[in-house]
Amino acid sequence: MGELENPEAVEIRFDGKRYGFWQRAEIRASVDDLCDTLSLSVTLPGSGDNLGITPNTVIEVLIDGELVSTTRLDSFSRAVSEESHDIRLEGRSLGRELVDCQYSQTLSGLSLAEIAKRLCATFDVPLKVAGETKVVPEFSMQCEAPANALINAARAANLMIYPTPDGGLMLSAPDRAAPVAALVYGEHLLDYEVVDEYRLRFSEYCVKGYDYAGDKALKGKVTDGGLTYFRPMHMVADKHGKGQGGCERRAELEKNRRLARAHRLDLTVQGWRFRTDNLWRLWAINTQVRVTIPQEGIDDVFLIGDRAFKLDDRGGHVTALTVMRRDAWGSEDR
């Protein structure tokens, strides 16, 4: 993959100020979270100050001059000694309010995109929608985190909702485009880890609901044939799930997503960018890559589920990627 000849440092910008030269940095994003996370730290001579940051400060984070995250801080700490001080920033992108806040809202007869737009607008979180979404007959949450309701609704529609560099969210189908890059162990990959997280899997997935119009109970069940012991997961169907097929489909989606997360590859590549079409682009979630690891018998296309840009004054700058099989999101139903 290579690296640009003169990569710039991680830089933050806020209130007309710019601050760079961080010694340690990590900016992480995932297709399963509504906000990305930020961790920056540096040790400097002198006593230092608070940089003019307040609880209301919105910080733009740039890599090689390109925006990668727009955040508010969760914590800002300064450890001061006679000769130096340590600064550490921990934050999440603007979607964190959807995760942390408890809120109530009832909406009927709107598309999933319109519901997401209204909730995001309430918390001043930008939203982009790729494609059309179906009408949700009833959407209701009472004193709960908007993130949970949005993620469940998106998953029921077989869509993803994930953070974007401007601090907002993208509501989109999983990427089906051609792989943006090929990663071969011994050429592009610094290291890899094959992860089998068995605790994520269950022997059966059962989704239960009720058809009030037809006055009958609904149930859909699928099994994971890879588990031979009893380990069930029973779930209540989303209110907009309809019919026996809807329950069974939701159970199938839950099984497939958990299988994708349970068996995954953690990869490390040098630098923050890859080259395609004669351009250097930053690695991004919800894009596909071809991974080849001969000794593991792996030569296939995977979806980038997690991505973390990492900087260390000793180890340089690398990108950590978690990739999963795209067929976990097989349906086109929205």
Q: Using 50, 70 and 90 to split pLDDT, how confident is the model at 8?
A: low
Using the predicted structure, report yes or no on whether residue 45 has a pLDDT greater than 90.
no
| Amino acid in the structure at residue 117 | K
Contact present, 62 and 56 (Cβ < 8 Å): no
Share of the chain above pLDDT 90, in %: 60
Q: Which residues contact 233 (CB under 8 A, 6 or more apart)?
A: 202, 204, 205, 206, 254
**Tens digit of pLDDT for each residue in 87-106?**
999 999 999 999 999 999 99
Identify the CATH class of 97-172.
Answer: alpha beta
Q: What is the mean pLDDT of residues 250-273?
A: 90
Domain 181-196+263-329, CATH number (from 3.40.50.2020, 2.30.300.10, 3.10.690.10, 3.40.50.300): 2.30.300.10
Cβ neighbours of 11 (radius 10 Å): 17
The CATH fold assigned to 11-91 is: Phage tail proteins - horseshoe like beta roll fold (2.30.300)
Domain with CATH 2.30.300.10 in the chain: 11-91, 181-196+263-329
Question: What pTM was computed for the model?
Answer: 0.87
Q: Using 50, 70 and 90 to split pLDDT, how confident is the model at 240?
A: very low
Using the predicted structure, report yes or no on whether residue 281 has a pLDDT greater than 50.
yes
**Tens digit of pLDDT for each residue in 201-218?**
999 999 988 777 778 888
CA distances from 334 to 55, 114, 172, 228 (A): 38, 14, 10, 33
| Amino acid in the structure at residue 179 | P
Region of 56 on the Ramachandran plot (φ > 0 left; ψ -120 to 50 alpha; else beta): alpha
Domain with CATH 3.55.50.10 in the chain: 97-172
Cα separation, 125 vs 94, whole angstroms:
6
Cβ neighbours of 68 (radius 10 Å): 23
Cα separation, 309 vs 169, whole angstroms:
19
Give pLDDT, residue 114.
Answer: 95
Contact present, 257 and 328 (Cβ < 8 Å): yes
Alpha-carbon Rg for the chain in angstroms: 22
What is the architecture of the domain spanning 198-261? Answer: 2-Layer Sandwich (3.30)
